[in-house]
A and B are shown apart, each in its own frame.
Chain A
């Protein structure tokens, strides 16, 4: 019986709250009481809704912007060890909201499957993720001008540590540097240019290229740091490559994250990216000891992700999609917008706030929204 009454609520409440209500509703309850409860919940929910005409976006902007002024500029958060520092504070918030693709400090938090998460071979596992370049395992690079080749003295100790044998190395190099003949003699690596006309400067260029040749690990991950977090070993990395890391068998793909919103969008989709924007901004605000309602951030994230692609709040991102010419022109690069508008014959319907302020008309928000309609007697 109560189920019937509850059904009324289902249409009104969002699923999460509805489930909580069903959970909390006592089994034995009189119909009248149940009805009263349902009515109360429905009223309360209605009360809590944002009213029509509330300028939600502006309130969100002010609610994030005002605490932003109190933020310490350029604070660095040290994730355990001094060589790992992460941009936090205002620069980081600006970075996220601008939707920048190249982060100053890309970082990953890699969770592991058992038994690795309990600390088994944790160093080995971490080193497997780190990107190893040829220069990392080489003791010395030298150019033999007479024979027109590069001789690389390998550091066998380091190679052993990283678990690289000569065969694997030769294989990796063949992929890395094309048109080069690779020869390995015990701990000596000889690179020869296949083409005959290799001048000295070409060989020098090849040497520089060889140094950066990818040998092993995940591209882009320059540092790894195993950390114990809540009785579990987690690998923090500097540099991020979500796609490759998720393919590694011992990585727990359900919890592994990166601070690069675009990588999340690419690998996990736009909904995940939206959540990432919220989480990343909230993390900064939290560490600064400030208090911003998460719903403001949700709104901003919604705006950024509404088109199915993460867009920054810049003149190339969200602002470009505004329909009003005057609103766009009042943000940045006004000349560009006005000239384009005149070329295409754009019409501004004066439907949002900025344009109406410019024309000194009532803004369609709050008290400016309701209109009086009267029948005209003819």
Chain B
């Protein structure tokens, strides 16, 4: 007697759980019950679980009967001729979706040759074990599993051609690659997903060697000539948005060139790009601090008198300004209305991004690295046939990571480029390496991909063969231009008087608790004090009551609010400490400072 559960709820018992489960499955294959139903027989606890709830992870498999797949070549023919649809195959019980639980009762074969009478299912293709992006990794079955994973993650960060209507779209933070290419070594997923319509990389000539140590620790060397020819070049787009908000009392924002009497008026120079409507004109070159959209807002707080006499003086400046460290060219201006009927102005800023030292590149095998040096083309090593590589990749990146596909792709790419065709590198189903090597040999190159190369500076031949070939490389969206940041002095926070945090606010890099500990461990007490002097203040303290007193700048005298005229000393503390004293006071605690001479 087996207990039967429907979507986790007990519904009854059956005589033979296993037979019941398989008969349920047969019914499903006959389309007598919904193909969304999955049945799982748990032999250990003698229970049958029928699941029909939504949100289960399921995957399609070919049904196998008596060691023979239900899907015949005839079906495939009909599919290609569009006489049959995927859903028809499911209705006919040829393909079924199996969930995680039912999979426990199934024996699935990878290839048709492996089938035995015990098998219940056949994999559609080994490719189905990968996701869309992972199946774009060529020769992935030669890689360590973890690197296949990172390779697929890297592809998600690659910049490419994301949408053909990019000119009229207003996306946040968009990167566009100027000359994207289809990879020479591709997988069937490139065709299925129509990768040619949105490619995200370029085929580069890669040499595996070191170059003056500038490609240590995964760095890469880039050929300056290749950059000049547009390799890896892209554009970065960012919209600036202004909205005419409506406030209570019929007050509204106004997009315009602010007049001089507006509170917080910048300088004439900052508004120089604005046209009469208060919006910047296209193709103007803007730098940090320039106003992109001029805007004024009504004052924040209205006293009763001002409410009736609204003059321009009380309005305040609220223009959209280029932030610190940003620059670019105005690409496109859009004026619309938002869902609330407010006027909405969007300005797209474009910035050309040429690869520079520190920008990130990656192959499709998780072999990511940053540019370590840009070498003039004349100094790059060259082959006997005069080819200079676009990129030099460090051989030390290979052994521990075991990305064999990286090397295979290099040879395959070379062969493909020389013979002028795409190489099929689909996982588990790729053109074999031996065939590619033979073809490469027939093309007049060494079959192992090595070539004699010459030092670009001295012209001497290298004593060893250099592994050169073609590879599909991705430029990743992490660029130095978006991240570079430094500060010597700059803005502070209003509340604590400590430096601001973060690049956008031109902030400092925090010397945190553990870093502080290292100063203490060294016994560098004075250095530590000096490091934390950023929020140093001199506070008058009443010696009588121990509270912070007042210093009157006009009368040049200090007094205590509690004790009146009393002895007052000036002490040096961090402003943060003065703040916490104030916070104590707001909690009705009395933090008394007891002063005494330090020495």
With A58-B517, A338-B584, A347-B594 as contacts: A359 and B523 at CB distance below 8 Å? no
Give Cα A368 to B527, complex, Å: 10
Confirm or deny: A208 has a beta carbon within 8 angstroms of a beta carbon on chain B: no
List, in ascending order, chain A residues with CB within 8 A of B599's CB. Answer: 371-373
Q: Is the CB of B526 within 8 A of A338?
A: no
Smallest CB-CB separation from B583: which chain A residue? A338
Confirm or deny: A357 has a beta carbon within 8 angstroms of a beta carbon on chain B: yes
Smallest CB-CB separation from B575: which chain A residue? A360
Confirm or deny: A162 has a beta carbon within 8 angstroms of a beta carbon on chain B: no
Contact with B along A23-59 (1 / 0, CB 8 A): 0000000000000000000000000000001110011
Q: Is the CB of A342 within 8 A of B590?
A: yes
Smallest CB-CB separation from A53: which chain B residue? B523
With A338-B584, A338-B589, A362-B529 as contacts: A357 and B523 at CB distance below 8 Å? no
Contact with B along A355-369 (1 / 0, CB 8 A): 001111111111111
Smallest CB-CB separation from A65: which chain B residue? B514
List, in ascending order, chain A residues with CB within 8 A of B584's CB. Answer: 338, 342
From DSSP, what is the main secondary structure of chain B's interface residues? helix
| Chain A proximity of B499: nearest CB distance (Å) | 14
| Chain A proximity of B250: nearest CB distance (Å) | 46
Confirm or deny: B524 has a beta carbon within 8 angstroms of a beta carbon on chain A: yes
Q: Is the CB of A357 within 8 A of B521?
A: no
List, in ascending order, chain B residues with CB within 8 A of A367's CB. Answer: 523-527
Smallest CB-CB separation from B589: which chain A residue? A342
Smallest CB-CB separation from B584: which chain A residue? A338
Confirm or deny: A62 has a beta carbon within 8 angstroms of a beta carbon on chain B: yes
Contact with A along B521-546 (1 / 0, CB 8 A): 11111111100110110000000000
Confirm or deny: B577 has a beta carbon within 8 angstroms of a beta carbon on chain A: yes
With A58-B517, A353-B520, A371-B599 as contacts: A362 and B589 at CB distance below 8 Å? no
| Chain B proximity of A376: nearest CB distance (Å) | 10
| Chain A proximity of B73: nearest CB distance (Å) | 52
List, in ascending order, chain A residues with CB within 8 A of B526's CB. Answer: 362, 367-368
Q: Is the CB of B594 within 8 A of A363?
A: no
Q: Is the CB of B532 within 8 A of A357?
A: yes
Smallest CB-CB separation from A59: which chain B residue? B521
Q: Is the CB of A366 within 8 A of B523?
A: yes
Q: Is the CB of B576 within 8 A of A358?
A: yes
Q: Is the CB of A363 within 8 A of B573?
A: no
List, in ascending order, chain A residues with CB within 8 A of B522's CB. Answer: 366
List, in ascending order, chain A residues with CB within 8 A of B574's CB. Answer: 358-360
Q: Is the CB of B573 within 8 A of A359?
A: yes
Number of interface residues of A (CB under 8 A): 28
| Chain A proximity of B540: nearest CB distance (Å) | 16
Q: Is the CB of B524 within 8 A of A358?
A: no
Give Cα A372 to B598, complex, Å: 10
Give Cα A30 to B124, complex, Å: 95
List, in ascending order, chain B residues with CB within 8 A of A373's CB. Answer: 599
Confirm or deny: B59 has a beta carbon within 8 angstroms of a beta carbon on chain A: no
List, in ascending order, chain B residues with CB within 8 A of A339's CB. Answer: 589
A59, A339, A365 interface centre (most CB from chain B within 10 Å): A365
Residues facing B in A317-369 (CB within 8 A) are 338-339, 342, 347, 353, 357-369
Instruction: Report which of B520, B529, B535 forms a contact with A58, defined as CB distance below 8 A.
Output: B520
Q: Is the CB of B529 within 8 A of A55?
A: no
Q: Is the CB of A54 within 8 A of B523?
A: yes
Q: Is the CB of B576 within 8 A of A363?
A: no
| Chain B proximity of A362: nearest CB distance (Å) | 5
| Chain B proximity of A354: nearest CB distance (Å) | 9
Smallest CB-CB separation from A334: which chain B residue? B580
| Chain A proximity of B590: nearest CB distance (Å) | 7
Give Cα A363 to B574, complex, Å: 14
List, in ascending order, chain A residues with CB within 8 A of B533's CB. Answer: 360
Confirm or deny: B516 has a beta carbon within 8 angstroms of a beta carbon on chain A: yes
| Chain A proximity of B527: nearest CB distance (Å) | 8
Smallest CB-CB separation from A373: which chain B residue? B599
Instruction: Report which of A59, A61, A347, A360 forms a contact with B577, defined as CB distance below 8 A.
Output: A360
A59, A360, A364 interface centre (most CB from chain B within 10 Å): A360
With A360-B536, A372-B599 as contacts: A62 and B573 at CB distance below 8 Å? no
Smallest CB-CB separation from B527: which chain A residue? A367
Instruction: Report which of A59, A61, A368 forms a contact with B525, defined as CB distance below 8 A.
Output: A368
Residues facing A in B535-592 (CB within 8 A) are 535-536, 572-574, 576-577, 580, 584, 589-590
Give Cα A279 to B451, complex, Å: 60
Instruction: Report which of B517, B573, B589 forms a contact with A360, defined as CB distance below 8 A.
Output: B573
List, in ascending order, chain A residues with CB within 8 A of B536's CB. Answer: 360
List, in ascending order, chain A residues with CB within 8 A of B572's CB. Answer: 360
Smallest CB-CB separation from A63: which chain B residue? B521
Smallest CB-CB separation from A357: which chain B residue? B516
With A360-B573, A372-B599 as contacts: A62 and B523 at CB distance below 8 Å? no
| Chain A proximity of B593: nearest CB distance (Å) | 10
Instruction: Report which of B520, B528, B577 forms a contact with A358, defined as CB distance below 8 A.
Output: B577
Give Cα A368 to B532, complex, Å: 15
Contact with B along A50-92 (1 / 0, CB 8 A): 0001110011011000000000000000000000000000000
Smallest CB-CB separation from B535: which chain A residue? A360
Q: Is the CB of B525 within 8 A of A369?
A: yes
A347, A367, A373 interface centre (most CB from chain B within 10 Å): A367
List, in ascending order, chain A residues with CB within 8 A of B517's CB. Answer: 58, 61-62
Give Cα A363 to B527, complex, Å: 10
Instruction: Report which of B525, B532, B535 forms a contact with A365, defined as CB distance below 8 A.
Output: B525
| Chain A proximity of B513: nearest CB distance (Å) | 9
B523, B573, B584 interface centre (most CB from chain A within 10 Å): B523
| Chain B proximity of A117: nearest CB distance (Å) | 45
Smallest CB-CB separation from B533: which chain A residue? A360
Give Cα A362 to B533, complex, Å: 11
Q: Is the CB of B532 within 8 A of A366?
A: no
Smallest CB-CB separation from B519: which chain A residue? A363
List, in ascending order, chain B residues with CB within 8 A of A62's CB. Answer: 517-518, 521
| Chain A proximity of B82: nearest CB distance (Å) | 55
List, in ascending order, chain A residues with CB within 8 A of B520's CB. Answer: 55, 58, 353, 357, 363, 365-366
Give Cα A363 to B524, complex, Å: 9
Q: Is the CB of A55 within 8 A of B521?
A: yes
| Chain A proximity of B508: nearest CB distance (Å) | 16
List, in ascending order, chain A residues with CB within 8 A of B532's CB. Answer: 357, 360
Smallest CB-CB separation from A330: which chain B residue? B513
Q: Is the CB of A58 within 8 A of B528?
A: no
| Chain A proximity of B465: nearest CB distance (Å) | 40
Give Cα A353 to B523, complex, Å: 11
Q: Is the CB of B525 within 8 A of A362?
A: yes
List, in ascending order, chain B residues with CB within 8 A of A365's CB. Answer: 520, 523, 525
List, in ascending order, chain A residues with CB within 8 A of B589's CB. Answer: 338-339, 342
Smallest CB-CB separation from A363: which chain B residue? B525
Give Cα A359 to B594, complex, Å: 14
List, in ascending order, chain B residues with CB within 8 A of A366's CB. Answer: 520, 522-525
Give Cα A53 to B527, complex, Å: 15
Q: Is the CB of A359 within 8 A of B528?
A: no
Q: Is the CB of A363 within 8 A of B528?
A: yes
Give Cα A150 to B45, complex, Å: 30
Give Cα A59 to B574, complex, Å: 26
Smallest CB-CB separation from A60: which chain B residue? B521
List, in ascending order, chain A residues with CB within 8 A of B529's CB. Answer: 360-363, 368
Give Cα A342 to B590, complex, Å: 7
Contact with B along A124-158 (1 / 0, CB 8 A): 00000000000000000000000000000000000
Give Cα A61 to B516, complex, Å: 13
Residues on B lying within 8 angstroms of A by beta carbon are 516-518, 520-529, 532-533, 535-536, 572-574, 576-577, 580, 584, 589-590, 594, 598-599
Contacts A55-B523, A360-B573 supplied; 6 other A-B pairs, CB < 8 Å:
A357-B532, A363-B525, A366-B524, A366-B525, A368-B523, A371-B598
What are the 6 A-B residue pairs with the smallest beta carbon separation, nearest first?
Answer: A366-B523, A368-B525, A360-B574, A342-B589, A362-B525, A363-B525
Q: Can you spell out 15 A-B residue pairs with CB atoms less than 8 angstroms apart?
A: A62-B521, A338-B589, A342-B589, A359-B573, A359-B574, A359-B577, A360-B577, A362-B528, A362-B529, A363-B520, A363-B529, A365-B525, A366-B520, A368-B523, A373-B599
